[in-house]
Amino acid sequence: MDCEQVIRLLWTWLDRELEVEVSQEVEEHVRACLRCKEHADFERRLREIIQTCCKKDKAPAGLRARLLALLAESSHGGDALSGH
């Protein structure tokens, strides 16, 4: 795996949404590559700052209701985003 691939997969890796084998490849590369490690560390710190700063902010009730409805619909096989 090269740096370009790692950078492209970084957010998905940080979200722990990659398949195990791909996740391991990214992790091995990040451990071995100082540039990618620094990039991953920066992204981790950025996420922590965002989570800390936005912790007290809540989505408006209407938005929360729409998102929950979309999630429920999509989990039942509907195409919630297009309305079909």
Measured distance CA(35)–CA(14) in Å, rounded: 16
**36 vs 63, higher pLDDT:** 36
Measured distance CA(28)–CA(45) in Å, rounded: 20
Average confidence (pLDDT) over 42-60: 85
The reported pLDDT for the residue numbered 84 is 46
Contacts of 64 (CB under 8 A, 6+ apart): 58
Span 52-80, pLDDT tens digits: 887 777 778 888 889 889 988 877 665 54
User: DSSP letters along 19-53, please?
Assistant: -HHHHHHHHHHHHH-HHHHHHHHHHHHHHHHHHHH
Span 5-32, pLDDT tens digits: 999 999 999 999 999 999 999 999 999 9
The reported pLDDT for the residue numbered 61 is 84
The reported pLDDT for the residue numbered 56 is 73
pTM for this entry: 0.63
> How many C-beta atoms surround the C-beta of residue 37 within 10 A?
14
